[in-house]
């Protein structure tokens, strides 16, 4: 073989191999994407919540919008948050049938439609029309069904909110407050002394415990705000890797929703992605990127065994904002570009969903807010024994409602249907429509189930029907019974004759 040809072939194979080696797998795919028409001039970094009916509750600039699973806007409620400066501290949670938001805004306008404002002594609340609060803090509840304001109202608010059971927890400066279901203060603790050079940065929950991230430590409380543990953070180099950067720089741009706990490790995002064990030892997982000429990691969350983080450019360049997915070894596993080339896009928040994550981001060129959900696809296999078939999709997103159809051939019936995951767990399914033959045997079964986060197999067994014709079946049974009775009678007669002979 010509040496030049051989060299070209080897080079081609090498290039192909390298290309395959660096290609990242598609782990998460887009499930659905909705656009929300709203003012995108100011930040609104609040989380996006997925509801039980697969809708979304989205915080935008000074309002909350509820979108159903088809992307239709169900309701939109304007909040009494003033837009007198570039950012209003605003956070929210969805709990059962309510949406609760908290804010400490430079100015709060209380209109006729909002029940409750401060009374003269700043104690409790009274219902009155109108009013304006300068540098006010409030926490308020909305009904998830229609977005109307609930009577629950508190003249206390904060920068962030979490929920455990029917209680809500908010933080403001040095204090942590527990509010009951009526949003009245049931307990308050001073987390940090005002003399300390320290601030609360963010809070998160895990189980029935509350975790408070400050510039210097992580403080653990139970649901009744009893102190359980204080973990001092030990940074690898200096405070530039600590949460303090959130206070002096990125926090003013809204990047404070990046603190999570997965049961063994703490994570927070401050330009890098930082991880701490329960001893407080902090290590950077990714390079520190916060600079005016670069980009910044924002809003990191753990999803399954992956770490999902937003990467925003600081300048309008050809490269777009990206969702970057890292594996447990902090190697890039997947990168997702948002928007169109040459458009300025910006990730506001990444929130967990049932089996994946939701990205809230804006296209500043088109002045549009997007809510995009990503999830994993899993395989659906069938294992059929006997004569019949199963109609079902071969692949689906985790969390999807999957319909299937089991049909027996003529002369056969359905004897078994079972659905199991690749790990051997049973999947519960609902039967929608069952057809039976005249003997009451199942010939068709329509059903549905919720796709788990795993590959599944649908095992179906068909067996031959004893009698395809019901009349023939009944006659055969009668004849068989009569023959059996006759046979028994003959045997008894013979036995009697033997006895008489003896």
User: What pLDDT is stored for residue 439 in this prediction?
Assistant: 66
- Residue 451 in any domain: the answer is yes
Residue 356 falls within a domain, yes or no?
A: no
In sequence order, which residues have a C-beta less than 8 Å from that of residue 131 and are 6 or more positions away?
109, 110, 117, 118
The verdict on residue 383 lying in a domain is yes
Give the residue with greater pLDDT, 281 vs 110: 281
For residues 86 and 254, what is the distance between their CA atoms, to the nearest angstrom?
10
Establish if 442 belongs to a structural domain: yes
- Domain assignment present for 438: yes
Indicate the pairing of strand 456-464 with strand 412-421: antiparallel
At 171 the pLDDT is 87
Predicted pLDDT of residue 250: 34
pLDDT of residue 272: 66
How much is the pLDDT for 494? 65
- Region 451-468: what's the mean pLDDT? 86
H or E segment and range at residue 423 = none
Q: What H or E segment, with its residue span, contains residue 8?
A: helix 3-22
Distance of alpha carbon 346 from alpha carbon 369, whole angstroms: 10
Which residue range(s) make up the domain with 440?
A: 378-464
Please write the tens of the pLDDT for every residue from 256-309.
456 888 888 887 776 667 778 888 887 777 765 544 445 566 677 888 888 888
**Tokens describing residue 52:** 């039980």
Cα–Cα distance, 7 to 417 (Å, whole number)? 57
What's the first-to-final CA gap in the chain, in angstroms? Answer: 103
Show the tokens assigned to 350: 């990444």
Query: pLDDT tens for residues 126-145?
Result: 333 344 444 567 889 999 99
Greatest mean pLDDT among 3-12, 83-92, 153-162:
153-162
Token pair of 164 as six digits: 């455990």
User: Can you give the CATH number for the domain in which 440 is found?
Assistant: 2.60.40
What's the confidence (pLDDT) of residue 307?
Answer: 85
Write down the mean pLDDT value for the chain: 76
Highest mean predicted confidence (pLDDT) among 28-32, 349-353, 485-489: 28-32
Contact status, residue 256 vs residue 249, Cβ threshold 8 Å: no
Domains contained in the chain, number = 1
Tell me the average pLDDT across 243-254. Answer: 38
Look at the chain and count its residues: 502
Q: Does residue 43 lie in a domain region? A: no
CB neighbour burial string for 85-101, b if at least 16 within 10 angstroms, e if fewer: eebbbbbbbbbeebbbb
Q: What is the mean pLDDT of residues 211-218?
A: 86
Residue 384: inside a domain: yes
**What DSSP string runs through 333-399?**
EEEEE-S-TT--EEEEEEEE-SSEEEEEEEETTTTEEEEEEEE-EEEEEEEEESSEEEE--SEEETT
- Name the 3-class secondary structure at 239: helix
């Amino acid at each position: 073989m010509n040496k030049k040809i051989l060299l070209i072939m080897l080079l081609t194979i090498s290039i192909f191999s390298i290309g395959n080696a660096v290609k990242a797998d598609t782990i998460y795919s887009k499930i659905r994407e909705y656009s929300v028409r709203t003012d995108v001039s100011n930040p609104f970094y609040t989380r996006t919540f997925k509801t039980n009916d697969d809708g979304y509750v989205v915080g935008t600039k000074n309002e909350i919008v509820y979108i159903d699973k088809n992307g239709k806007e169900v309701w939109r409620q304007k909040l009494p948050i003033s837009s007198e400066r570039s950012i209003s501290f605003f956070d929210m949670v969805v709990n059962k049938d309510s949406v609760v938001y908290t804010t400490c805004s430079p100015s709060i306008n209380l209109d006729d439609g909002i029940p409750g404002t401060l009374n003269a002594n700043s104690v409790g609340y009274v219902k009155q029309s109108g009013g304006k609060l300068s540098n006010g803090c409030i926490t308020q509840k909305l009904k998830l069904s229609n977005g109307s304001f609930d009577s629950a109202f508190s003249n206390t608010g904060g920068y962030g909110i979490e929920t455990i059971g029917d209680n809500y927890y908010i933080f403001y400066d040095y204090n942590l407050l527990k509010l009951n279901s009526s949003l009245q203060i049931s307990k308050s603790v001073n987390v940090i002394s005002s003399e300390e050079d320290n601030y609360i940065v963010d809070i998160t929950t895990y189980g029935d415990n509350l975790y408070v991230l400050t510039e210097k430590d992580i403080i653990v409380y139970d649901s009744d705000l009893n102190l359980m543990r204080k973990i001092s953070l030990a940074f690898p180099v200096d405070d530039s890797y600590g949460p303090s950067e959130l206070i002096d720089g990125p926090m003013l741009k809204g990047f404070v929703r990046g603190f999570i706990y997965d049961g063994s490790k703490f994570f927070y995002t401050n330009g890098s992605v930082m991880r701490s064990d329960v001893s407080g030892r902090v290590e950077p997982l990714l390079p520190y990127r916060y600079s005016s000429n670069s980009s910044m990691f924002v809003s990191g969350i753990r999803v399954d065994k992956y770490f999902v983080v937003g990467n925003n450019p600081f300048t309008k360049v050809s490269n777009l904002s990206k969702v970057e997915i890292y594996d447990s070894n902090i190697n890039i596993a997947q990168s997702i570009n948002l928007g169109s080339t040459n458009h300025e896009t910006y990730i506001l928040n990444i929130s967990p969903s049932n089996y994946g994550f939701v990205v809230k981001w804006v296209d500043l060129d088109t002045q549009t807010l997007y809510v995009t959900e990503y999830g994993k696809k899993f395989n659906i296999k069938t294992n059929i024994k006997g004569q019949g078939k199963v109609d079902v999709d071969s692949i689906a997103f985790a969390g999807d409602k999957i319909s299937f159809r089991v049909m027996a051939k003529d002369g056969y019936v359905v004897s078994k249907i079972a659905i199991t995951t690749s790990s051997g767990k049973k999947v519960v399914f609902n039967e929608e429509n069952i057809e039976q033959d005249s003997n009451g045997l199942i010939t068709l079964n329509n059903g549905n189930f919720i796709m788990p986060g795993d590959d599944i197999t649908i095992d179906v067994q068909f067996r031959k029907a004893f009698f395809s014709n019901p009349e023939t079946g009944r006659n055969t049974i009668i004849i068989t019974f009569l023959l059996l009775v006759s046979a028994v009678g003959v045997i008894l007669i013979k036995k009697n004759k033997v006895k008489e002979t003896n």
